[in-house]
Structure 1
Amino acid sequence: MLTYKQLRKAPPKYGNKKTVIDGFTFDSKKEAAYYSQLKLQQRTGEVVMFLRQVPFHLPGGVKYVADFLVFYANGDVVVIDVKGVRTSEYRVKKKLVEHQYPITISEV
């Protein structure tokens, strides 16, 4: 039997659809597809390894969570955020992270 909270749950604000692959729940189909692409690149040797949901801690107790941290075979390390909508909160956190850490966040 469904609870009142489950019945009342509103649809996602930006139209994303949660997707499960390999037991991981992704916030959108786009993020799940990128995960699948990274797995394929890992099998071909282009990607050595990658991490999901990597936290970056900012002053004031603020936390930004990147979707992926990718380690390429050529030595590059890239922080990836799979975006459908660039919210104002995301833009502020992105600037703070890039100022605080020696990284650039790539959006896909």
Structure 2
Amino acid sequence: MTRPKRPKYANKKVVLNGTAFDSKKEARRFGELQILERAGEIKDLQTQYAFVLAESVKFNSEPRSKPAVKYLADFVYVRDGRVVVEDVKSAATKKLAVYRLKKHLMKSVHGIEVVEI
């Protein structure tokens, strides 16, 4: 008998009002953002919004095209007329090379600085 696989970063998935989140911290932040939206401080709150960082490409040496490189933001909303992108991160996931590269590309490609929560 095999045990269920533990999450890599010890997070616990949570469902809140029918929306699935990767951690309790992320679900809690969603609740906070919903309150801000109801109060009129932010608008157009979206979860798991994908930004294209690099388009799909086809290499001559490979049979299939490579998919576009995307950044999947935990939360996107508008505050004071500008788009805000938030990502809920632990100390460990903040340090990941792939995340740091995608954060850099978000600023370079889209002019958006990712806010880490």
* Bucket of the pairwise TM-score, normalised by the shorter protein: 0.7 to 0.9
Superposition deviation, residue 93 in structure 1:
1.1
Q: TM-score, normalized by length of structure 2?
A: 0.79
User: Alpha-carbon deviations, 1:4-45, whole Å to 9, x = none?
Assistant: 8xx543100101110100101000111100000011111211
After TM superposition, list the pairs within 5 Å mapping 1:19-30 onto structure 2: 19-30=14-25
What SS does structure 1 have at the residue aligned with 2:37?
helix
Larger relative helix fraction: 1
For the pair 1:77 / 2:83, whether they are aligned, the reply is yes
1:99 aligned partner: 108
State, as a whole percentage, how many aligned pairs show the same letter.
42
Structure showing greater radius of gyration is: 2
Structure 1 moving runs of 4+ over 4 Å = none
The 10-residue stretch of structure 1 (48-57 or 25-34) with the greater mean CA deviation from structure 2: 48-57
Q: Which sections of structure 1, spanning at least 5 residues, go unmatched?
A: none
RMSD: 1.6
Structure 1 Cα separation of the partners of residues 110 and 12 of structure 2? 31
Structure 2 Cα separation of the partners of residues 58 and 49 of structure 1? 22
Q: TM-score, normalized by length of structure 1?
A: 0.85
